[in-house]
Amino acid sequence: MKVVVVGGGIIGASSAWQIAGRGHDVTLLEQFGPGHKNGASHGSSRIFRHAYADDYYVSLAARAHSLWRDLETATDTALLAVTGAVDHGDPATVNPRIDALKRAGLEFEVLEPVAAQQRWPGLRFDTTVLFHAAAGRLHADRSVAAAIEAARSGGATVEYETPVREISGSDVVTDTRTYVADVVVLAAGAWTSEFVPQEVIPPLVTTQEQPAHFVPLRPEMQWPSFIHHPGALLDTAGIYGLSSPDGIKIGEHATGPVVSPRTRGFVPNPDGVQRLIDYAGKWLPGVDAKSADPSTCLYTSTPDSNFAITRSGNTVVAAGFSGHGFKFAPAVGEVVADLVDGSRRQGRA
């Protein structure tokens, strides 16, 4: 079967890897060059965690964990560093995550804030603290490159600097040629809406987010990945954070301005940067709060933040990963491959 994958970010690369591994003839088309910073898959770090309130996402993370390790072995590349992860904040938000981890049989601890700060002095904690040890961080750029390498090892052709202008039935049209596919996989991130009728998937909204890295005061200090949920002592947007090769990274979740991926400015909003500085000054005693180094990336979100993975005719769409999809990418690639070869009728949207 001839399959054309449109988009070479982590979802497209993982899909190409999984589809090629099943023996299909795969061509991946990416409009930019390798390692570009125009979408949602670049940088040095992404959180990996299992702590969701939804059993489906817990199980999907468990499957992804196994596949990340397979990808590390196949490419001899270190991708997933286990640091553990903490959820803290409003008990009404944290407790369902505790229950879901319990149902899944995954290891976890519940701590009081004082005990948690004794263990991780770089952080201050809010109300209920959930720690699960199997979590950590992924190196984003290396993960995309490894998935591309694995796809190529499975026989896929990868063509960079090849923007798709039109998808019409089985035809995928670029500036230089038309590719004819039995199945087209559209994994184009913020560009998805340019090719998909609105009735096929939920409406997508793209925002420009602006995480920032802060300099740790003690480089030897241990940092778990962390999610600070709003509603108890935090009366602003929720915050995610993790250690990375570039410092301690924190960001708000889906608070950035709505943008077009073709015209966005790549300039962080000063008010948003100041909110991160204020947060670091109050909740992160282990960093220099004045050292913020902001950057930008894209979120493409569905109304309920669930993923849009579906097949319509000969097109499989994987979109709307809503700022939390990176960790699941190898498992999403399996879902996409199932839709391609017909072993699954629908993904979960």
Beta bridge partners of 315: 184, 312
> What does each C-alpha distance from 333 to 14, 29, 260, 275 come to in angstroms?
5, 16, 26, 35
Band the pLDDT of 347: cuts 50, 70, 90. Answer: low
The two most distant CA atoms of the chain are separated, in Å, by: 62
- Provide the CA 312 distance to its chain's centre, in angstroms: 24
In terms of C-beta density within 10 A (0-12 exposed, 13-18 middle, 19 or more buried), how is residue 78 classed?
Answer: exposed
Q: What is the pLDDT of residues 267-322, one digit of tens each?
A: 999 999 999 999 999 999 999 999 999 999 999 999 999 999 999 999 999 999 99
Q: Residue 349 — pLDDT band, cuts 50, 70, 90?
A: very low
| 345 CB-contact burial (10 Å; exposed 0-12 / middle 13-18 / buried 19+) | exposed
Question: What is the mean pLDDT of the segment spanning 28-56?
Answer: 98
Per-residue confidence (pLDDT) for residue 198, from 0 to 100: 77
Q: Tell which residue, 86, 126, 321, has the closest CA to residue 236.
A: 126
* Planar angle of CA 157, 161, 163, nearest 5 degrees: 95
Cβ contact 12:20 at 8 Å? no
Distance, in Å, from the CA atom of 116 to the CA atom of 110, rounded to the nearest integer, reads 9
Composition of the chain by helix, strand, coil, percent to 5: 30, 30, 40
Q: pLDDT tens digits for 85-121? A: 999 999 999 999 999 999 999 999 999 999 999 999 9
Task: List 178's β-bridge partners, or say none.
Answer: 173
Share of the chain above pLDDT 70, in %: 99
- Buried b / exposed e over 116-126, threshold 16 CB at 10 Å, is bbebbebbbbb
pTM: 0.97
pLDDT band of 197, cuts 50, 70, 90: confident
Domains of the chain: 1-65+139-202+304-349 (3.50.50.60), 85-133+205-301 (3.30.9.10)
Residue among 329, 245, 323, 325 at smallest CA distance from 68: 329
Instruction: Reply yes or no on whether the pLDDT at 345 is more than 70.
Output: no
SS3 of residue 285 by DSSP: coil
pLDDT at 154 over 90: yes
| Structure confidence at residue 217 (pLDDT) | 98
Contact 195, 186 (CB under 8 A): yes
Tens digits of per-residue pLDDT, 265-282? 999 999 999 999 999 999
Encoded tokens for 163: 């923007």
Average per-residue pLDDT for the chain: 96
How many Cβ atoms sit within 10 Å of the Cβ of residue 203? 11
